[in-house]
């Protein structure tokens, strides 16, 4: 989904189908356990242990559902000054003057499996990965800082590469 504003050069949301399915399953389990809580409360008040088990399972699945829902999308925004990546509550902004170079990862399925934010050492560089399953990735080599490389998934790596080429001197 692209909804770039006048100040945005590019905007994209990368959603993982597997995480969306997992979120739906967890929400259904939460609803199932909530029905157990309600039935214990109104129909079987004589068994507080069962009520406590259903309540605990409901709260656990509800928390997992909310967590999955919040991190199911990788949001990419590029302005004339910076690239911003957001995954749930975690946000990272990289200004163009912090980028030494970039490349498109041709072997993205092998290199950075899974969805979410990870930190790994790859080719001797500390790398932060904003990944979504089965999506091509753009690799940014960074100047100085906590990470030597930033990798992120996108459905349009060539478009992002052309924007980077225009804006990085």
What is the C-alpha separation between 92 and 76, in angstroms, rounded? 10
Q: What is the pLDDT of residues 72-96, one digit of tens each?
A: 788 999 999 999 999 878 899 999 9
Q: Which helix (H) or strand (E) holds 141?
A: strand 137-142
**What is the sign, positive or negative, of the torsion defined by CA atoms of 81, 153, 2, 92?**
negative
What residues pair up with 68 in beta bridges, in sequence order? none
Other beta carbons within 10 Å of 104:
14
Distances (CA, A) of 32 to 29, 66, 93, 100: 5, 16, 40, 51
Token look-up 């490389």 returns 149
Domain 8-13+74-167, CATH:
2.30.29
- pTM > 0.85: yes or no: no
What residues pair up with 15 in beta bridges, in sequence order? 73
Give the residue-averaged pLDDT of 18-26. Answer: 81
Q: What tokens appear for 136 in the block?
A: 């091509």
What is the C-alpha separation between 136 and 104, in angstroms, rounded? 8
Q: What is the pLDDT of residues 96-148, one digit of tens each?
A: 999 999 999 876 555 556 677 888 888 888 998 888 767 788 999 999 888 99
Domain ranges of the chain: 8-13+74-167, 17-70
Assess whether pLDDT exceeds 90 at residue 32.
no
């Amino acid at each position: 989904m692209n909804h770039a504003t006048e100040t945005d050069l590019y905007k994209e949301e990368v959603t993982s189908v597997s995480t969306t399915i997992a979120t739906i399953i967890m929400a259904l389990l939460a609803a199932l356990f909530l029905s157990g809580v309600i039935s214990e409360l109104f129909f079987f008040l004589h068994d507080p242990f069962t009520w406590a088990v259903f309540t605990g399972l409901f709260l656990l699945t509800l928390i997992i559902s909310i967590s999955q829902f919040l991190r199911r999308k990788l949001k990419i925004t590029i302005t004339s000054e910076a690239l911003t990546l957001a995954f749930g509550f975690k946000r990272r902004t990289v200004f163009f003057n912090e980028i030494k170079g970039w490349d498109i990862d041709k072997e993205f399925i092998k290199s950075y499996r899974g969805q979410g934010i990870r930190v790994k050492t790859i080719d001797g560089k500390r790398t932060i990965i904003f990944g979504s399953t089965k999506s091509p990735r753009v690799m940014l080599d960074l100047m100085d800082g906590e990470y030597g490389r930033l990798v992120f998934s996108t459905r349009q790596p060539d478009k992002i590469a052309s924007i980077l080429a225009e804006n990085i001197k």
